[in-house]
Amino acid sequence: MSNEDEQKKDRSKISLRIGDVQIEFEGTSDNIRKLMDKDLVNFTKGLEATKKEMPPLTEHAPRVTAKTQEVAPKISQVASSEKTVPPPQPSKPSITTKPPVKESRFFSKGKKPEKTGKKRFGWKPVAIALVLICIVLSAGLVAAFAVYLPMIDDLESQVAERDSTISSLNSQVTSANAQLYLLQTNLDESENTIFNLQEQNGVLSSQIDYYLNIIAMNVTGYFFVEEPLIGQNASEYTVIFQEIFEYAGYVAVSVESTSVTTYVELLWSYSPVTYNHNVTVGGSGVAYFPVLPGPIEIRIGNTDVYTGDLLNATVTAGYCY
């Protein structure tokens, strides 16, 4: 730091009141000390004499303020650091009169003012420091923006790309779910179809077995069992069964009768064939008849000539085809 800056930092300002006069000293500490040690008494006496000659002060009287002249050594701009600075000349105080105010006297006549131990700092260094801090912070902020803005843009583009991918995947999932639902529906329908076909297959298998048994004439059944026949007259017959056959086969008729002339007669017609045949079974017997598809008729009769006797019989008729 230059000598001029050091002297500016060492400048002080002291204000004191002597009687009704306000005195202010401003300068370096050495100049103020010399003024107060040597010239203050003479200055005070001259000031009192001047006060006697002056007219009385009014409320609007001008204010006289004593200020020391700023004396600062001038330093050449090219002076080297080895040259010494000559001591500054003592400054003469300026006198300012002020209306009388009741205040306590800070300094008595001939008393030296106390030297302040604190140095005053101007606002310019603080402002410069604040400006430098703001510049540094601004530079850091700009650098941060310069570094992180591209990263933010890149991250935003990545997020947008991820969102697009997620949206596409969600669409694919929705489509896959729809396909899965359709496939599940088709599967259910196929399972129902399989179940129905299995049922139909079972029915058809049963029908096949049935028709195979018909072909082999293994199907049997009864038209009636132990059907009673009561009070038949001599030389008469009774029709006990009429039906239309769908398949070829044979018919068996079993008779238990009270007449030895009992017979069984069977008639059927299968264009252009007409069949009519009877078998005598007597008091007990079984008669068998071949049949073709078509209408058939079974009769039970007798050939008795004595009309006083009545025929009683029990008949069982069955078929096989």
Spell out the domain ranges in the chain. Answer: 3-120, 144-215, 220-320
pLDDT number for residue 321 = 81
pLDDT number for residue 116 = 53
pLDDT number for residue 148 = 85
pLDDT number for residue 32 = 64
Q: What is the 3-state secondary structure (H, E, C) of the chain?
A: CCHHHHHHHCEEEEEEEECCEEEEEEEEHHHHHHHHHHHHHHHHHHHHHHHHHCCCCCCCCCCCCECECCCCCCCCCCCCCCCCCCCCCCCCECCEECCCCCCCCCCCCCCCCCCCCCCCCCHHHHHHHHHHHHHHHHHHHHHHHHHHHHHHHHHHHHHHHHHHHHHHHHHHHHHHHHHHHHHHHHHHHHHHHHHHHHHHHHHHHHHHHHHHHHHCCCCEEEEEEEEEEEEECCCCEEEEEEEEECCCEEEEEEEEECCCCCEEEEEEEECCEEEEEEEECCCEEEEEEEECCEEEEEEEECCCCCCCCCEEEEEEEEEEC
pLDDT number for residue 84 = 43
Two tokens at 48?
Answer: 């009192």
Q: Which residues of the chain have pLDDT under 70?
A: 1-121
Which residues make beta-bridge pairs with 83?
none
pLDDT number for residue 58 = 44
pLDDT number for residue 103 = 46
Place of tokens 């003592």: 90
Measured CA to CA, the distance from residue 55 to residue 51 in angstroms comes to 8
pLDDT number for residue 33 = 64
CATH superfamily of 220-320: icosahedral virus (2.60.120.660)
pTM: 0.42
Residue 142's identity, in one-letter code, is: V
